[in-house]
Amino acid sequence: MAMLLGKKVGMTQVYDESGKLLPVTVIQAGPCVVMQVKTADTDGYNAVQLGFDDVKASRRKNPQVGHAQKADTAPKRFVKEMRLPEETETEYKVGDSITVSVFVDSKLVDVVGTGKGKGFAGVMKRHGFGGFPASHGTERKHRAPGSISSFASDAGHGGKPKKGKRMAGHMGNCRITTKNHRLVAIDEEKNLLVVKGAVPGPPGGYCLVRSAKKV
């Protein structure tokens, strides 16, 4: 399984070989540095810790600076682990650099990012409720959730709304995975991945790209 950390650059369009215009997202992925190699013997599981985007050593606390020095690099802004299958011997070494070339054989990728925050959102935006009519006598409750419970229909809940009842609240700014993006192009010179469709997060936001889990 291939995985890289990156930054969303933005969206644009490209023509594919059949002359169709595709909406694509450009991701600047890697080069990622292997900060640490975890093995079943020492840590209980096999994994590789990847780091992306240098930050000045004076901006980070000493433990993080020291951790990065073991891999002979600067401290990183974005650090994530890539789990490896249990039985295999890992070919990664601390200090290795991983570039977009790991995706050369991949056709589909998953992208994980932090979605844009929407703040405190009502039920129509947050859960897709229908709302109420705009006219015909509706007053002051055009976007209201409606009844949230009654004693009779929610018997057994002690006259309280059911757990998990969909209501207004904070929306967005959480981890989102979008699956099976077609990998349209790879630019090894500029470390760019071009994937079809939209990817979670704002331009400039960090994201994680991995080869698709379920095809």
Partner 1 sequence: MAKKEKTATASKTDLLDAVENKSLKKEIPHFEIGDTVDVRCSIKEGDKERVQVFTGTVISRKGRGINENFTVRRIVDNEGVERIFPLHSPNVLDIRPVRSGKKRRAKLYYLRDRTGKAVRLAHRHSTHTVSK
Alpha-carbon Rg for the chain, nearest whole angstrom, is: 23
Three-state DSSP class for residue 69: helix
192 in contact with partner 1 (CB under 8 A) = yes
- CB of 209 closer than 8 Å to CB of 27: yes
Among 37, 98, 102, 194, binds partner 1 (CB under 8 A): 194
Among 97, 190, 202, 213, binds partner 1 (CB under 8 A): 190
Binding to partner 1 (CB under 8 A) within 3-62 occurs at 9-10, 12-15, 19, 21, 24, 26, 28
Query: Smallest gap, in angstroms, from Cβ of residue 33 to partner 1?
Result: 16
68 in contact with partner 1 (CB under 8 A) = no
Query: Smallest gap, in angstroms, from Cβ of residue 50 to partner 1?
Result: 19
Instruction: Count the Cβ atoms, other than its own, within 10 Å of residue 142.
Output: 12
Instruction: Tell me which amino acid residue 150 is.
Output: S
Query: Smallest gap, in angstroms, from Cβ of residue 9 to partner 1?
Result: 5
Q: Which is nearer to partner 1, 24 or 208 (CB)?
A: 24
Q: Which is nearer to partner 1, 168 or 192 (CB)?
A: 192
Structure tokens at 11: 């969206």
Q: Which is nearer to partner 1, 12 or 39 (CB)?
A: 12
One-character DSSP codes across 6-60: EEEEEEEEEE-TTS-EEEEEEEEE-PEEEEEEE-HHHHSS-EEEEEEEE--GGGS
Phi-psi region of 53 (alpha: psi -120 to 50; beta: other; left: phi over 0): left
Binding to partner 1 (CB under 8 A) within 143-182 occurs at none
CA atoms of 109 and 198, how far apart (whole Å) = 12
Query: Smallest gap, in angstroms, from Cβ of residue 29 to partner 1?
Result: 12
Question: Which H or E element spans position 44?
Answer: none
- CB of 68 closer than 8 Å to CB of 22: no
187 in contact with partner 1 (CB under 8 A) = yes
Residues in contact with partner 1 by CB under 8 A are 9-10, 12-15, 19, 21, 24, 26, 28, 185, 187, 190, 192, 194, 203-204
